[in-house]
Chain A
Amino acid sequence: MRGVPAVMEASLSQFRYTLHRLTDRQVLLLRVGIAVVLLLGVGAPLAGAYKVWPFVVAGVADGSVYGLAALGLVLTYKTSGMFNLAIGAQAAASAYVFYSLRIVVGLPWPIAAVLCLIGVGLGGALIFERLALWLSDAAPVFRVVTTIGLMVFLQSLLSAAYGPATLTMPAFLPTSIVRIGGVNVSVGQIIIVALGILATATLYLFFRRTRLGVSMQAVVEDPSLLALQATNPDVVRRYAWSIGSCFVSVSGMLVAPAFGVDVNHMLLVFIAAFGAAALASFTSLAGAFTAALAIGIAVNVVSYELSSSANVVVNSFYTQIPFLVLVLALGLLPKRRLAERGAARVRRFKPVRTFPRELVITTSVIAIAAAVAIPYVVTSADIDQYTEAAGFFIILASMGLLLWTSGQISLCHMAFAAVGAVTLGHAEAAGLPWLLGVALAALVALPVGALVAIPSFRLSGTFLAVITFGVGLLFQNLLYTTFLMFGSLGSIDVGRPHVKLFGLDLNGDRGYYFVALVAAAGAALVVVMVRRSRLGRFSRALSDSPQALEAHGTDTRLTRPFVFCISAAMAAVGGAMVAGVTGSASSYQAGSFGYFTSLVIVAVLVFCGRLPLLSPLVAAVVLEVLKIYPPFDRTGYINYQGVIFGVLAIGAAVLPGIKISHLGRRAAQRTDPGRLSARLEFAMDGVAG
């Protein structure tokens, strides 16, 4: 029997080796084969047995819409290296414009659709193409931040302009019914599916058979080399973005009658496209469309199967499928299939400016004195805003530690903050002292952070951002309403310390402000200590060159999770402080702990700079304090502040990449052939040996 494990191991090894050797075409064929076997062998009998054919048909139609968006996503990622996290917001913009033209202006739908395609599809393409050009040699984190900025910008703009209510869009495709295989299918659904299949087939052939298609794939790896082959990389990029952006725009219009026109809802609906793209390793167009179909079918069939359950979590489980697919796909895909596009030509961060020690000490003393004086000079109504700023400083400092020290990005940081808030709430409810509750909040966040950080063993840059985005959504939609967190009411009481210190009641507004201030000072100390420690040096080195660090013996799989855990624990303490301001924490989407706040804090932090403590401080003031003083206290500013945050974040991300060489690149290329020859030689060196 001793030989059996050895034989199994050898067989497994041989199997892995065989998989490793497969070409992309063989992998595609294998996937299609598996999909067909599953569909015919498992899907069909199950569907027949459980009478779910109508849901399968509806799923195919929904999946086709997701598929169009996924095609746009994969196409633009393949050609620009920029993963467009904002496709949901872009699709929503398309739906709103279509709604305005069709319902408000009263245009016939074909004309409204064409105008929408020109405005949102091609207009969006123009913007994205420019951004992609400026970000072509930027670190992945800046590309992610740009799309987050776009998402924040569009969501805030659309919410402010159209209001929070879901707008109803009447169906515009034919609704007449035909029967196929005993199931009623609308002509509109048939048109949508046909459109999706046609788009996939055309793009597939275009990439395989045409010179422009091949060029589109080459442009992200080295545009200069492409230029040497008499193909203008700018034109190639523009085509790719035009096609991709129009696909997203069309999917936004198609989805509107079924789901309503609501930007917050659409951001979530289009996560299915992310999941499909992830299943297709962000490269295979046919794979992305097939995966989108599968997700569409799964969502519809599961919704039918679980609709009879009395449990709300089980009943609405189908809404979590796209998020689960996204997280599982990124968590389980082989690392070699998740190579970051265009990562070979990354421009390094400029070192952070350092200031003279005397200046730092003097400024710190003045800042501390000002912070201590604040509750005595501002109105009592405003103290809470400053306290909340102190809480957000901790969260922002923890994000800065992650972002600028180890080069990781987390789009689920408010989930850690929520863990901290609810842990303190539960601890207080169990009768534990406040201070112990806060310590417990940090401790509980450590394993949660470790769990979320597991993907960072193998993922970084764009893919880590995408998976943490999915995790943030899963927390909000699956865990927030459970007894572990906010409970079915969606809200939990979080108290303040019931202690008097030097005559100051820490339960009062002024006293609690000082509590939060001390916590913020502690967080600042942690940031300084981590940056100066061995872990801080390893994190910075990892951010600069993981290959060099590994080549000297460092197991980089440990470095990232260590920083992630510390950052999560800090965010949890920050969350506990923020929740204490109002005395409760809630899971509502508009509340502080929603996934969207995670995006906003990244956007704000990025445009406030890369200084480890000053940038989070400025960001906290911008987020929480600015809005209580004129002219920022006006409703107009508060409604549209997300628009400003989005624009500033995009500006901060792309500004280092906008150079004279980019603006006058074509002229420079014409007049300086030597420069391109040098690039060619350099690139050949890269493949040599």
Chain B
Amino acid sequence: MSAPSNANLVVTDLTVRFGGLTAVNRISLTAQAGTITGLLGPNGAGKTTTFNACTGAVAAAHGTISLGRTRLDRYSTARRATLGLGRTFQRMQLFDSMTVAENVAMGPESGFAARRPWGQLFEPRAERVQIVRRRNDAMGRCGISDLAGKIVGELSTGQRRLVELARAIASPFRFLLLDEPSSGLDVSETMHFGQILRDYVADTGVGILLVEHDMALVADVCSYIYVLDFGQLIFEGTTRETLASEIVRAAYLGSDAVEDAISSVRYERADAAEVERVV
């Protein structure tokens, strides 16, 4: 599998309807390769629906989705993945009966199998070597190599989140959609998670579009942010501009107290990091 060239994700005029309900209404966004872009909004704003439309899990009523120069919106979910668009899920989707190593290996293995109609039946030795290399690299990057033989269904939420991320980054994706990846993680786990994301983007140049409620993580890793409310794009800007925006505050953050909460979370993390360093 040759190394794919990274690409920007461009969503133009995307509209998704469920019967009479317009869940996403003509939103447009561009997420750059080599950066982490945030997609924020309160519950029900249309973030996951946008992801689902990008990956083809739901049909878009209108609009286009492109990865680099490739239009994705005409293809199935599996085809979009083989063209380079990967994702993780808000409610984790893991292969619970399999080990961590098998889960992570399924990422690149799916990519290889999709190259030929009979790819699911046979496994050339050369592909196995590449799969093992990618798997080990991803597990090492996420710090879960010591869990390789564990059955995934028996892991904690934090470990499962890392397995899902490892599976995504082991795959030859050109762009990643991460849906609330830090949900269920404690403060130190979230810090570790953020560090992995930053390192991965810096090393590979792959772009990430991140849906996340943990504002401290968003503030830490995102360089640009789009904000949705009621299915519409209400704001876009740099992280600093977004966090300072009154519109965003009114629609999403709700009160001035949240800013204090973000600050306090930062202090707690700084303290935790200090404790870890001393220990």
Contacts and interface: CB of A to CB of B under 8 A. Distances in A.
A binds B: yes
Interface of A: 17, 20-21, 23, 348-352, 533-535, 537-538, 540-541, 543-545, 547-556, 558-559, 562, 684-689
A552 B86 contact: yes
Nearest to A538: B120
A348 B95 CA distance: 10
B110 A553 contact: yes
Contacts, number: 131
B43 A554 contact: no
A554 B44 contact: no
A256 to B, nearest CB: 44
B44 A688 contact: yes
B110 A549 contact: yes
Nearest to A687: B44
Given A550-B78, A552-B107, A556-B78, A351 B97 contact: yes
Main secondary structure of the interface of A (DSSP, over half): helix
Interface stretch (B47-55, B65-73, B138-146, B235-243): B47-55
Given A551-B81, A553-B78, A554-B113, A534 B97 contact: no
Given A534-B122, A689-B179, A554 B110 contact: yes
A543 B77 CA distance: 18
A406 to B, nearest CB: 12
B120 A559 contact: yes
A20 B61 CA distance: 10
Given A558-B120, A689-B41, A547 B114 contact: no
B171 interface: yes
A534 B44 CA distance: 39
Interface of B: 17, 19-20, 41, 43-49, 51, 55, 57, 59, 61, 76-79, 81-82, 86-87, 89-91, 93-98, 102, 106-107, 109-111, 113-114, 117, 119-123, 151, 153, 167, 171, 179-180, 183, 211
A335 B151 CA distance: 32
A548 B89 contact: yes
A686 to B, nearest CB: 7
B78 A688 contact: no
Given A549-B106, A685-B90, A540 B98 contact: yes
A134 to B, nearest CB: 21
A538 B93 contact: no
B91 A548 contact: no
A534 B113 contact: yes
Contacts of A684: 43
Given A552-B106, A554-B113, A687-B43, 9 more contacts: A23-B19, A351-B153, A537-B109, A548-B167, A554-B110, A555-B76, A559-B120, A689-B47, A689-B180
Given A21-B17, A534-B120, A552-B171, A688 B110 contact: no
Nearest to B121: A535
B77 A540 contact: no
A656 to B, nearest CB: 14
Contact of A553 (B19, B20, B59, B82): B82
Contact of A21 (B19, B97, B121): B19
Contact of B109 (A348, A534, A545, A558): A534
A534 B121 contact: yes
A556 B81 CA distance: 13
Contacts of A549: 106, 110
A435 B90 CA distance: 54
Nearest to A530: B121
B151 A351 contact: yes
A553 B111 contact: yes
A631 to B, nearest CB: 39
A545 B121 contact: no
B93 A349 contact: no
Contact of B93 (A17, A533, A537, A551): A551
Contacts of A551: 55, 77, 81, 86-87, 89, 93
Given A23-B20, A534-B121, A684-B43, A553 B95 contact: no
B93 A545 contact: yes
Contacts of A548: 89, 93-95, 106, 167
Given A548-B93, A552-B86, A538 B113 contact: yes
25 contacts: A21-B17, A348-B96, A350-B153, A533-B121, A537-B106, A537-B109, A540-B98, A541-B106, A545-B93, A545-B96, A550-B78, A550-B81, A551-B77, A551-B81, A551-B87, A552-B86, A552-B171, A555-B78, A555-B114, A684-B43, A688-B47, A689-B41, A689-B44, A689-B45, A689-B51
A349 B89 CA distance: 20
A550 B44 contact: no
Contacts of A20: 59
Contacts of A547: 57, 89, 93
Most buried by A among B46, B93, B117: B93
A544 B98 contact: yes
A689 B106 contact: no
Nearest to A555: B78
The 3 A-B residue pairs whose C-beta atoms are closest, nearest first, are A689-B48, A688-B43, A552-B110
A343 B86 CA distance: 24
A511 B43 CA distance: 70
A550 B77 contact: yes
Nearest to A549: B110
Nearest to A544: B95
Most buried by B among A543, A549, A550, A559: A550
Contacts of A552: 81, 86, 106-107, 110-111, 167, 171
Contacts of A534: 109, 113, 119-123
A125 B2 CA distance: 60
B90 A554 contact: no
Contact of B211 (A21, A544, A689): A689
Nearest to B115: A553
B44 A543 contact: no
Given A549-B110, A558-B117, A686 B77 contact: no
A348 to B, nearest CB: 5
